[in-house]
Amino acid sequence: MKPEEAKKRIEWLRSELKKHNHSYYVLAKPTISDFEFDSMLNDLEVLEKMFPQFADPSSPTVRVGSDVSEGFTQVAHRYPMLSLANTYSFEELDEFDARVRKVIPQGVEYVCELKYDGTAISITYLNGFLSRAVTRGDGTRGDEVTTNVKTIKSIPHNLSGTDFPSDFEIRGEIFMPHAVFDSINVQREEQGEALLANPRNAAAGTLKILDSKVVASRKLDCYLYYILGDKLPFENHFQNLQKAKEWGFKVPAEAKLCETINEVKAFITHWETERKKLPFDTDGVVVKVNSYKFQNLLGFTAKTPRWAIAYKYKAEQAETKLLSVDFQVGRTGAITPVANLEPVQLAGTTVKRATLHNSDQIVMLNLHKGDTVLVEKGGEIIPKIIGVVKEKRAIHSAEVEFISLCPECGTELIRPEGEAKHYCPNLYGCPPQLKGRIIHFISRKAMDIDGLGEETIELLFNEGLIKDFADLYNLTYEQLLPLERFAKKSATNAINSIAKSKEIPLHRLIFALGIRFVGETTAQKLAKHFGSIDTIRNASFEQLIEVDEVGERIANSILEFFASETNRILIQKLESSGVKTTFVETSVVAESDKLLGENVVISGTFAQVSRDEAKILVEKHGGKVLSSVTGNTTLIVVGENMGPAKLDKARKLGIKIISEEEFLKTIQ
């Protein structure tokens, strides 16, 4: 390969891996299998060694993927939280063993543990009490999610016994059991909501929910498998793991101490089939050198420890024929290609369709019409094509081409810069988008209109009775009764439910409007901050970004939404129909005027009260709560982990800063 060709390939691989890292860690929605990702990463590593002139310190080969997200305080890890090197073959496992024994010729023991398919967590305990929980993040810094982690019943708040170190970290994997996952999806299906993709994504997404009550309801679980700190009881990993069990931690019961690499292989072979009987997902086995002394001798690369490796099981695959490709339009206008396949048995079900995700996936697969393809169902609800059997390709077969026009309305598609998806920009004339927005509007977390589902909305739309969600409020009993899906009772219930939805709180209405990037939490913040749809509609960019959790992307999306004449007319129709468009807050009973005249910002994590409770206390004692530090702020109540940028800004503005203790003492 010529240098210029290598450079082009390296840049493409880095770009693709960066996008997939973002999908996996931040969005918790991986678009390719682990095997595909690892293969691409391996290709990049080989090319970077062959062409060192193209080295880059930010390359995915030397960086850990990041799950850092907005809405959480970022905290530096005391010890780097690295990834593990992966292998899919016993040959590479033998090579790992040879590298270890080259440094340590004798006395090597390995600990084998199942590799749980969840999301990594690091928890600090001080004097036996849970002090802080942080996600992997980028390996150097992660999101502080202590409040959410405390809702997980298998993680102790305080330890048993007395022989634990005064200050140590324990790391593990948070996951969602199959029974919980299935139960949530049954409920979501009944409510007409999108199903969760798989337990791993569900666990990662749940841990990043800002409302800890919702996190608690998801019944997450956790296995803890690695301890870090000074003055640990033993000089090896396995004994410390058993000791951690005595302190009250849920540690892997399947962990096994092995003296040879053949014992390790036997463990891997045993669990390849037995893991399918477990009530949670596993995707491999982690092999660690047991002795801490030997771990230190072996050391680390920039990204992985040299004393550990993950053997990953390949997801179940099947070979079948590609019949055709459909292009589906979602409610946001996103175009998703879906492959129609010759039916094939895979993981206990008959597979007829597989997602192709986006145009990049079609290009990467070099997919041709009539190809024989490999289909994988690694935890996905919709299987995916992971490869093509090129030796079975028909001569002169045509490439599968991504469409340029919307299959529903014929509008030319666009692909926003930095995004993988193509979109139909015809927001107000493309039928699937119009119907999709109505379905979102009536959903339980939005306007919660019973008696109407996706099929009913399709019927009403096709009959010309509704063109948008505001038209729902003009429907009459007489219009519904003659329709196929309605009888007297169901028509009455639907009309009553539509009428009842007029009293839904403002934040639910904002969420129901379907403004891009505005989720439930952001909708609540906007409702409380501005107080009415009208005020949000007239807000400037500067006013919008003053709202907690509203950044540039969300602010621009809100401005774009209300700049549309169609959307302004929709809002007017809703107001005319009697839908509540103003914020009604439960009144706070005043207890004193000790904070009268104070504009207070609450920041950080608190020990004695929650942040929400602190805000209520401010209002009870005459103060006003602000969402961000501005020139109007007069007081900041700070807990642990206040963001450095916010703290620096407060000091520059000369704002008084007090601790949680001082705050509570002030209002006593």
Catalytic residues: 115
Answer yes or no: are the C-beta atoms of 343 and 351 closer than 8 Å: yes
The long-range contacts involving 22-26, CB below 8 angstroms and separated by at least 24 positions, are 22/65, 22/66, 24/65, 25/65, 25/66, 25/67, 25/136, 25/204, 26/66, 26/67, 26/68, 26/69
Q: How does 21-55 read in b/e, with b if 16+ C-beta sit within 10 Å?
A: bbbbbbebebbbbbbbbbebbeebeebbeebeebe
Query: Measured on CA atoms in the order 608, 167, 221, 312, is the torsion positive or negative?
Result: positive
User: Helix axis angle, 611-620 relative to 660-667, nearest 10°?
Assistant: 30
Residue with tokens 């390939």: 9
For residue 260, give both structure tokens. 């040879």
One-letter amino acid for residue 591 of the chain: E
Residue 471: strand, helix, or coil: helix
| CA-atom Rg of the chain in angstroms | 28
> What span, in angstroms and rounded, lies between the C-alpha atoms of 550 and 565?
23
Instruction: Write out the DSSP string of 277-343.
Output: GSSS-EEEEEEEESBHHHHHHH-B-SSSBTTEEEEEPPPPEEEEEEEEEEEEE-TT-EEEEEEEEEE
Tell me the HSE value of 445 on the side-chain side, using a 13 A CA sphere. 14
Strands of the 119-126 sheet, one edge to the other: 129-135, 119-126, 167-175, 221-229
Contact (Cβ atoms closer than 8 angstroms) between residue 312 and residue 268: no
Instruction: With residue 344 as reference, give the H or E element that holds it.
Output: strand 334-346
Q: How far, in Å, CA of 563 to CA of 532, rounded? A: 17
Which element (helix H / strand E) includes 345? strand 334-346
Give the whole-angstrom CA distance, residue 601 versus residue 612.
Answer: 12
Nearest to 509 by CA among 585, 428, 581: 581
Residue found by looking up tokens 């805000």 in the block = 615
- Listing DSSP states for 104-158 in one string gives S-S---EEEEEEESSEEEEEEEETTEEEEEEE-TTSSEEEB-HHHHTT-TTS-SB
The whole-angstrom separation of Cα 349 and Cα 566 is 45
- Which residue in 153, 150, 144, 163 sits closest to 73, CA to CA? 144
String of DSSP letters for 51-115? -GGG--TTSTTTS------TTS-EEE-SS------EESSHHHHHHHHHHHHHHS-S---EEEEEE
CA 385 to chain centre: 23
Phi, then psi, of 267 in degrees rounded to 5: -60, -45
Q: Which helix (H) or strand (E) holds 346?
A: strand 334-346
- The Cα–Cα gap between 577 and 61 comes to 57
